[in-house]
Amino acid sequence: MYDSSLPAIVVGLLVGFAVIYFVFWRCMRKTESPSSKRGSRLSPWPANSTLSFRLKKLLGESAVNGTFGSMAMADLQRKPELSADSLDGKGREYVSAPNMKNSCLTYPDTKYVKDLSNPIYRAISRKNGEINRMSKEEMIDTLAKLNLNTRGIGEILRARLKTYYKNLLMSEAGLETPSTQRNFDYLCVIDFEATCEEPTPIDYIQEIIEYPIVLVNTKTMKIEDSFNSFIKPLLHPTLSKFCKELTSITQVEVDQADTFPLVLNGVHRWMKSKALGTEHSFIIVTDGPWDMNMYLNVQCKLSQVPYPAYARQWINLCKTFSNFYKTKRMCLRNMLGALEMGFDGRPHRGIDDAINIANIAIQLMQDGCELEVNDRLTQ
């Protein structure tokens, strides 16, 4: 008599053998020598390499097994005379970061909580509906009558109008309105420039060669001061033609500059002269995650100086811009274009990029955006 369950049993056995084979195959792959898997997702470091040990000591185990590790390893192989000590340069004179008292890291949590049962929010919703039905010409006309900025694409005009009426209605109801000034006294806008080549070698590590800071007063919503310094690179002391053309930074400027530890000393000295972190709270502002997460993070490890505590969190202006104006994520030039603002200076020059990022931050505050921390160091 034919057993109808036999095909199902056979299929089950075949599936079981397939699973066992797959697990065995994965285990065998993981036990292969890392040195034979260079370029794969597995660790690219030779198992017993002296350079690997030096780099792990310099950058840390997690960095060695990640993106930065593979780039730094190749540079140390090309320049074996560069050790943790020599990369430090004159960094033994390192000046500590500003005191974090009254800084963004210890600032009291003043985030207000909405009482959505308040009828004012229904009024705001109705007003938003009216604005959603407006054409661009109608929004421009309304903004002009209110003496507000009429420049920008439709999404920006709409967000500007909505925020204006929202704050007006909340103020009339005696409710607190969002304010960047309540969170921070100053914005420190930073946009690093770094060594680069075109095309970029797969194991190339970039070093910071320009350290600009633009200081924005959140009360006056104006640029109050700035700091800028070139930095002498050690892994790539000779700038590529591509780097010089892109950034307009010359070989003479970096040759005559201090190494990173000394420049960071100057940064902290300047910040302390502005009473940042003591009398005034502040926060770092960038146009993305890379300046802190990649450039500053790796440079501090290469130069063997402590990563500044104040730079562990910051305002990512690209995120803020898209979230507030309800647009897609944009680069610096496109954000300026959406606001119908021109670029002030030369693109890819650190201090000029920082000034333009600061101008965008100021426009966001003028449009009623509350700038808040939205990005943090990930490693």
Question: Given 245, 348, 370, 372, which residue is catalytic?
Answer: 348
**Sign of CA pseudo-dihedral 81, 82, 84, 90:** positive
Alpha helices in the chain (DSSP H): 6-30, 50-59, 61-64, 67-78, 84-88, 120-132, 136-145, 154-172, 180-183, 241-247, 251-255, 260-273, 290, 297-303, 317-325, 332-338, 350-366
Q: At what angle do helices 154-172 and 120-132 cross, to 10 degrees?
A: 160
Is 193 annotated in the active site? Answer: yes
DSSP-based three-state secondary structure for 231: strand
How many whole angstroms separate alpha carbon 299 and alpha carbon 205? 10
Amino acid type, 153: I
What is the per-residue DSSP string for 89-129?
TTGGGPPPPPP-TTSTTT---------TTSTHHHHHHHHHH
The single-letter DSSP state of residue 316 is E
Residue 379 · residue 62 · CB < 8 Å: yes
d(CA 187, CA 190): 9
Query: Out of 155, 193, 207, 268, which one is annotated catalytic?
Result: 193
Question: Would you please indicate which residues are annotated as catalytic (active-site) residues?
Answer: 193, 348
